[in-house]
Structure 1
Amino acid sequence: MPVDLNQTIFVAGHRGMVGSAIVRQLQAKGYTNIITATHAELDLCNQAAVQQFFENHQIDQVYLAAAKVGGIHANNTYPADFIYQNLMIEANVIHAAHVNNVQKLMFLGSSCIYPKFAQQPMAESELLKGELEATNEPYAIAKIAGIKLCESYNRQFGRDYRSVMPTNLYGPHDNFHPENSHVIPALLRRFHEAVKDNAEVVTIWGSGTPMREFLHVDDMAAASIHVMELDDTTFKANTQPMLSHINVGTGIDSTIRELAETVAKVTGFQGRLEFDATKPDGTPRKLMDVSRLADLGWKASISLEDGLRDAYEWYLNNIDSARNK
């Protein structure tokens, strides 16, 4: 079935890293009617405002990329903010989509939904089979609730609400805040400043041994649109009952030490790396089983080094605004 490029698509969270990438790629594919709203124009935590927004627009599809996100420090410091805001955003948007007869919706989750000691690589079936990582449990619970919201509206009302669970994302429009960012933007900023200051040593949180998988946000956006464009028969043939979410990743991981060494190469840092083992490591390993997505015809194409170079170039070009997010 051909894709209708004139349908009205609402991208929630279009100013964020993932949402902006989705908008770019939808435009590149020829979609002509993409609607967005800034936080000043629409507070997604305000149920009445979200409902009114959907009533005012004849929306055909939704990409729900809006979320409150952050690294270990931010999750530890603001747990109430993370669970409340994410629960409100997804509940308001998903319910308003249903009430206003939006049949197709894409919910973007996170790999942190899986147990801390999930079997590696993590298949979709690992969901709810163990204890979550304590440092981001409130955020993870909110994302699990989003998956279950989509599943529940599908079961009760026959909606076509799909969920994708990305691995660790990075790229243009990332958050480079010195305390609240994820590992890649934090390292890119720290190594950049070390080069600028002629520092001899860069100290990195943790032991350097945890394994992590990283996906460039442009690959994430491409995968999301690919899954959304799949016809209903193809999608359902690959989706088990009560297991509607799909992992998105590269299927390749590296240690934090290896990541730091690659960031050093990309930024030109030639000094020494030190690891502070008194700081938390988080989950020992997080590698996604992406076989279901491969069966649906999509694989990542951007290598880690190439992706890091792209992210660093964006940071250099936007350093005044990116550094203070």
Structure 2
Amino acid sequence: METVVVLGSETLLGKTLQRMTQNGEFQQYTWIFAESTDLAPPGDAKTPFEKHTPDIAISFTLTEERTDSQSGNMREALLVACNTLHGAFLANTHRVILCAKRRDSVVRHPVRAPSTADGTHIEETIDALCQSYNREYGTSFAALLAPTVFGPGGSYTPKGEVSVHSLISMCMVAVDEEKDLVLCGNPKETIQTVYAVDAARLAVSAIKKDESPLVVPGTDAVLEDTVVAIARESGFKHSIVFDTRHENTSPAPTASEHFPAACQTPFNDALRETIHSTKAGLLNSISDS
């Protein structure tokens, strides 16, 4: 049985995949979950690659932003990717799936895409790095470029980003304060997103794929429809107002034939599960305080 080490167990995708394995999925592998910080442990502590010499590694460490600095984002992405690939090479890990958020997966105010000075973006750099390792060492690495991920256990998103989680948070605040929900931008713009359960399944299925980069097919959710669905599930009764003086910039729709459509959870079902989980979490935090 092959051993898979998952880096980034603290991320939404990491927590989701761990929960899925605990519920009996993917039992053809032995699973080890490690946090992102374990890649650079203090002192003489060993990395997950040194401890476990896994056959396969899946990294979710780049699926969530950690800094508002574009250059900081790029430096961290390159450092994480290099540490992951180098550790895998030393441990004779034969397959690495590096997952990173695509730059065109969210609506932003203002648009802010992590990039280098010459305009090269994170996903292009990560894929180029994987390709160079493939050529140099004959080892199989792939970059799985996921859109913004949402699902139970997700958290607030970076300031200025319109995503499913930020819309849920805004709607719940409006419910609590009994106020109208005011959003900037065109209600017909889209948010490209993917449900965490689907993204985790696709990352595991990428173990057996040869293409690189692999692009997760996200859902192009219309902003207005998404907000209305969130409002309905949240019990929001007031008005939803779009301030069109401040336009969003939305991603162009993308398509992928790498994965079957059967892998995708219906968007409204995924949204309902996420909202109910978020509401339950809020109620628990209130009762504990």
Distance 2:278 2:69 in 1: 26
Query: 1-side partners of 2:221 and 2:48: how far apart?
Result: 43
SS state at 1:291 partner: coil
Closer/same/farther in 2, CA of residues 286 and 299 from structure 1, 3 Å limit: farther
Amino acid in structure 2 at the alignment position of 1:156? E
2:213 aligned partner: 245
1:7-62 deviation digits (Å, cap 9, x = unpaired): 2211100111111222233442225632223356x2x3679979744223221110
Q: Which amino acid aligns with 1:185?
A: H
The amino acid of 1:97's aligned partner reads: A
Equivalent residue, structure 2, for 1:80 = 71
Instruction: Pick the aligned partner of 2:57 from 59, 62, 67.
Output: 62
SS of 1:209's partner is coil
For 2:15 and 2:274, locate their aligned partners in 1 and report how far apart those are by CA, in whole Å.
Answer: 14
Matches of 2:82 and 2:262 in 1, distance apart? Answer: 30
- The 3 A distance-change label for structure 1 pair 208 and 78 is farther
Partner residue in 1 for 2:258? 292
2:19 — aligned with what? 24
Residue 225 of structure 1 aligns with which residue? 204
CA distance in 2, matches of 1:225, 1:36: 14
Q: Measure the CA separation in 2 of the matches of 1:81 and 1:49.
A: 27
Change in Cα spacing, 1:167 to 1:286, as seen in structure 2 (3 Å) is farther
Partner of 2:112: 135
Alignment of 1:5-16 (within 5 A): 7-16=2-11
* Paired residue type of 2:101: S
Equivalent in 228, 234, 247 of residue 267 of structure 1 = 234
CA distances 1:105-127 after superposition (whole Å, capped 9, x unpaired): 1111233269x9xxxxxxxxxxx
Q: Are positions 1:153 and 2:133 aligned together?
A: yes
Q: Deviations over 1:224-281 (max 9, x none)?
A: 11221x2xxxx34xx3xxxx1122125x523212211111112121211122335451
Where do 5+ consecutive residues of structure 1 fail to align? Answer: 117-132
Aligned pair in 2 of structure 1 residues 113, 188: CA closer, same or farther (>3 Å)? Answer: closer
Deviation at 1:317, TM superposition (A): 2.5
Match of 2:191 in 1: 212
The residue aligned with 1:112 is 103
Per-residue CA distance 1:131-163 (angstroms, 9 max, x = gap): xx9511339822322211211111221111122
What residue number does 2:155 align with? 175
SS of aligned partner of 2:258 = helix
Where does residue 36 of structure 1 map in the other structure?
A: 33
- SS at the partner of 2:97? strand
Q: Could you say what the CA RMSD is over the residues aligned between the two structures, in angstroms?
A: 3.0
**AA at the equivalent of 2:114:** E
Q: How far apart, CA to CA, are the structure 1 residues paired with 2:272 and 2:32? A: 30
Give the TM-score, by structure 1 length: 0.74
- Residue 164 of structure 1 deviates from its aligned partner by 1.7
Percent of aligned pairs sharing the same letter: 17
Equivalent residue letter for 2:215: N
In terms of fraction of residues, the more strand-rich structure is: 2
| TM-score, length-scaled by structure 2 | 0.82
The number of residue pairs the alignment matches comes to 276
Alignment partners' CA distance in 2, 1:149 and 1:18: 22
**Following TM superposition, by how much is the alpha carbon of 1:87 offset from its aligned partner in structure 2, in angstroms?**
1.7
Structure 2: where are the runs of 5+ without partners? none
- Give the Cα–Cα distance (whole angstroms) in 1 for the partners of residues 241 and 44 of structure 2: 49
In structure 2, C-alpha distance between the alignment counterparts of 1:99 and 1:205, rounded to whole Å: 49
User: SS of the counterpart of 2:6?
Assistant: strand
Q: For 2:216 and 2:43, how far apart are their aligned partners in 1? A: 33
Q: Could you tell me whether the CA contact under 8 Å between 2:152 and 2:278 is conserved in 1?
A: yes
Contact residue 62 and residue 100 of structure 2 kept, 8 A: no
